[in-house]
Chains A and B, each alone.
Chain A
Amino acid sequence: MEGTLIVDDDPAQLPDALKVKENILVVQYVPIQATTSTVDEKITVPSIRSAASGNGKTANR
């Protein structure tokens, strides 16, 4: 994968050195061994943006 430019901050406030491409890398763990080539197709990545953005999470129970 290559980085893509995500503008979710106010670009005017960013120093030039922060106007860069981004990747959101969500590290997950599943208690299984990688034994088939299709295992990655079975995983759904939930709510990447809300998980990455910090505040504003809601109670989950």
Chain B
Amino acid sequence: MTLINGQVTPKITLHQGEVLRWRLVNATPFRTLNLKLGTLALNEIAVDGMYLGTVDIWPAGKALTLQPGNRSDVLVQAPANCSNNQCPPINLTNNDNEVIATVEFVAGGNPMPLPTSAEMAPLKTWNNIDTSLVYTSEPAQFQEENCNVQDDMCINGITFNADTVTKLPLNKTQLWNLWTLDKDHVFHIHVNPFQTVRTGPDGGQETVWMDTMLVPKGSTQDKPVQAWTTYENIPGKAVFHCHILPHEDDGMMHAIQIE
């Protein structure tokens, strides 16, 4: 059963014409969310707490996907004009057929515009990395079997051990090469987000900043998912792990030391 803020199928109210910002959090332990909002678009302005610097419009009927741990800030614009001033309610759905919230519209709102991409550009949280300046690269192979601890999961063959630490360079650009030996896994790193490329709502490739992303089944050492980071200003110890909770709990995590 899917809940929102602890409630079963909550009702969300918008005034006609108004724009509401939703800060969506996939706090499920292991479910990928594919969200649609009836006849309305989800106007995405931030991913994992970082402004895109543009407005990505996920039109009605095209799902916004969130892996476990992902966040997305979207703007929802309620219709301003409906017949007899009565806009019919719509559903927020997951995987097309699971209604997880209902949205109703009430009269009396002040019509509001959505921001333009030009208005959002100055808010972009991080400037893109020049990927030609990669100083070092690190592999992360996610695997559920054949780990150094029997029956546990691991990364690069090593089940989590706080004393097994990979050192990463401060103020240098590093490339992550990520792949899986078996099923889908979700790469999540603490403290420092990363730049990667995703398929945007128009079907084109889009450079975005995230701290949580899918490493899909089918990725390989020769064809990895890639992410770039420049660790700026904050040396110290942190971890990265699979954000599928049972995997993390079974040891699919690794310590890093930035110095």
A, B bound: yes
Cβ-defined contact, A29 with B29, below 8 A: yes
Interface residues of A (CB under 8 A from B): 1-3, 13-15, 17-18, 20-34, 39-40, 43-45, 48, 51-59, 61
Q: How far is the CB of A27 from chain B (nearest CB, A)?
A: 6
Interface residues of B (CB under 8 A from A): 1-8, 10-14, 18-31, 33, 45, 48-50, 66, 71, 75, 94, 100-101, 112-116, 119-120, 122-123, 160, 190-193, 211, 238-239, 248-249, 253
With CB as the reference atom, state the residue of chain A lying closest to B28.
A29
Partner of B1, one of A30, A45, A52: A30
Closest 5 CB pairs of A and B: A54-B49, A43-B6, A17-B115, A29-B28, A15-B119
Q: How far is the CB of A31 from chain B (nearest CB, A)?
A: 8
Cβ-defined contact, B190 with A54, below 8 A: no
Cβ-defined contact, A20 with B18, below 8 A: yes
For this complex, 13 residue pairs linking A to B, each with C-beta atoms less than 8 Å apart, are A13-B123, A14-B123, A17-B116, A22-B22, A23-B21, A23-B22, A26-B25, A27-B24, A27-B28, A32-B1, A40-B8, A55-B193, A61-B253
Cβ-defined contact, B20 with A22, below 8 A: yes
Cβ-defined contact, B10 with A58, below 8 A: no
For A20, list chain B residues within 8 Å (CB). Answer: 18-21, 75, 112
Take A1-B10, A40-B8, A55-B191 as given contacts and tell me if A15 and B120 are in contact as well, using a CB distance cutoff of 8 Å: yes
Distance between Cα atoms of A48 and B24 in the complex (Å): 10
Cβ-defined contact, B1 with A33, below 8 A: yes
Cβ-defined contact, B3 with A21, below 8 A: no
Partner of B11, one of A1, A14, A51: A1
Cβ-defined contact, B114 with A22, below 8 A: no
Cβ-defined contact, B71 with A28, below 8 A: no
Cβ-defined contact, B3 with A17, below 8 A: no
For B22, list chain A residues within 8 Å (CB). Answer: 22-25
Partner of A34, one of B1, B45, B122: B1
For B31, list chain A residues within 8 Å (CB). Answer: 29
Partner of A30, one of B3, B48, B100: B3
Cβ-defined contact, A23 with B190, below 8 A: no
For A34, list chain B residues within 8 Å (CB). Answer: 1, 8
